[in-house]
Structures are given as structure tokens and as C-alpha cells.
Chain A
Amino acid sequence: MTDLIIILTLTALGYFAGSWAEKRHYLSIREREKQLLHLPAITMKDVPYPGEAVRSIHLAAGSAVISIDYFKRLLAGLRNIFGGTIVSYESLLDRARREALLRMKESAPEAAIIVNVRIETSAIGKYSSKRNIGCIEALAYGTAIELVQR
């Protein structure tokens, strides 16, 4: 009886705390995306500027680790039985990647463009063993190009 109550309490806690954290995070992400829209990130390797215009380049990287909450884990476990899209996990991945991209852009404030951006995702944390669903780590890196000031 007591473990049933514990499960229900954790689930409720996960749902309320998790949704609140998610909303806040998405607001912050959207806000910063608007601010950093002037700095494009592309996957192309070609540097679209002639050699003389380039002042310096450096590797820019940003990463984020988003953890899963109990409610989402429960939902994902249920989905594993029935199959289909694990909706509770999508927002986790989305947030982690967008956050990683934003941090990469923030690490190169003077850049004009970031080229050859690559994004890596992996599961880490205590629950990342085979049987359980873990926390998400997203890493975004690319070459930031700073131009000579006109």
C-alpha cells in the first residue's frame, strides 16, 4: 500500500515540477533564439567569405544536459509496451538540442557565422543503463568565423 502511495506522489511531483520547469525553459529558449537570430549556424563546410575578410576562427561548442522526471519516465515505460512515438521524450530532446545550439552561439558573440555545425546526443546519468531511460546530453559544435571590422 505504501509503495503505491510513493509511486503516485512521485508521479504527481514529476508532472507538476516537470511541466513548470519545461515551460520556463521553453520561454527562455524562445527569447534567446530571437536575440541570437542574427548569428546563423549552418551545416555547410564552405566558408562564405574570402580569406582577407576573415579575422579569426575558433571552434565554438555548447552543451546541455536535461534530466528526465518521474512522470515522463512512467509514460515512456508505458509506451515501450504499446509502441508508437514517445511523446514525453520529444520535448526533452528538443530542449536539450536547442539549448546546446544557443550555448554554442553564445560562446561566439563576435562571430558572423558558425559553419560545419554538428550535433551529438547521448544518454548519461544514473539511469542510463540498458533497462532504464536516462538523462539527455546534447552537444553542438562548429567553426565560428569572425570578420575583420569594417
Chain B
Amino acid sequence: MPANRFNGFTEYGIGIGLRAPHYDHILSRKPVVDWFEIISENFMIDGGRPLQILDQILEQYKVVQHGVSMYFGSAEKPNREHLRRLKELVKRTKTPWVSDHLCWGSVDGRYTHDLLPMPYTLEAAKLTAQKVREVRDFLEVPVAVENVSSYAEFHVSEMSEWEFLNEVVERADCGILLDVNNIYVSSQNHNFDPMTYVNSVPAERVAQIHIAGHSKYRKYILDTHDHPVIDPVWKLYERAVQCAGHTATLLEWDDSIPSFKEVHDEARKANKFLASTVLATAV
């Protein structure tokens, strides 16, 4: 099940985000890492050091692209220049799939550079699915949409977040990048059972899983990617891989980034849960 049409029938293991503070370590020590995830927008440029680093990484490692500004949920059409540059990068990295967020963030060509929550309506699901299809058809690689952390809910919503996610992915016939930390963060901010969410996701569509840490404030939790993964999130991860199988997993650590070893060690904790899925399959 994990190698599916939504991740290009690949069997990727545990990856970490490729971040600038680790460049020297990776290029000089060449640590064994299953794969790296890059933020596409950081490399959708004409030249210079970022692309030189990327090319060196590509010589040694598998790379998967993750975007932050396609805004599948924004009402406007995908930006043509954005798509053109993204496709150029897809050809360079040979990423088996690309992912971006199930959110909106731009209006009339103005970008907020944030992942804003969607109103969970049928109308929004239809428009979002249409945009996912357009992007996938243009890029000619599978697309996976990621559930975001959110801090607000809308009166107009007609369904739960997981029902909305399912509606979008079924209509778009696309994959899911299941972020179990985001599920946890939103569950705490909106008072729902995160396990219900994980259990409701169509496991056969899960292309990849994200794990991460967050910051707890007095009245809400913020998705900051600056801490280790907490136990309740590992529990959600365990359940997700029980359902979806041995899925490509990535640890996100984007702020107060510790040493490469610390990040990689944290990511490799996922092995314990992935191993149990292999065992279960064997039995």
C-alpha cells in the first residue's frame, strides 16, 4: 500500500528537510539519509548558490519537493510563472511527487505568505479540487495535499476538516501528505479528537507523512517546527502507519534548528513505528 500512484510507486523511508545550517555537514560528511525534502520556492530561481547546493545534493540523495505558496484553496487561477518555474524544478529534481497545502493565502494577486484555513464547504472543496487537478496536469507528476494547522474556524463550514480533506482528494483524485503534528495542533485549538481524524483519512491515498514539534501557549498551540515531536503526536503517527503502512516520513524542523545529528536522530525515532508495520505485514 505505501508505494502507490500518489507517490510515484516509490518506497521512500525517513527523510528530513534540507535546511541551510546543515549544508556544510551534509556535503562534507555525506551522512546516510533516505531522502531530503526541499521547499520548492527556495529553489525556483535562475541560478546561484542555492541551485549549486541542490545539484550537489541531487548527486547523492533522493529529493522530494514540498511547496508553500500554491494556495490550492485561493479562488484565483494558479500563477503561470509559478507553475512554469515549479515544473522546471520538477525536471531538475526528478521528484516522484510534489506536495503543497490544503489552504488559501492569496487574493487578487496579493500574497499573505501564510497558510490560511479553508471554509469547509462543498463549494470550496469543488474549486480546490479543480485547482489541484490543473496543477497536477501541468506538472505531470502526482500531487499530494497537506492538511494545515489552524487557529480559526468559520461559521460557514458545513463539514469537519477531515470530511473536507476527503471531499477534496476524492474529487481531485490526488494524494495526501498527512501531517500528524498539524492534526494534533488543530485538535487542541478546535477541541476535536485527533484519532478520529487519522482514522477517517483514506489510507490508500497517503503519499507521505509529516511529523514535527510545536509551541504551546496558554490559550492555543502554534505550529512552529522548533521542538522535538511530542508523545501524543507519535501516537497519531503510529496509528497513521498502522493504517497506511510503511509510508515516506519526514521530520520538519524549521526554526531554532539544532545540529544535523539531533534532527536526524529525532526523525529516525519513526523507525520504531515503521518497523512494526513491516512486522505486521509479515505476520
- A, B: real partners: no
Residues of A at under 8 Å CB distance from B?
none
Residues of B at under 8 Å CB distance from A?
none
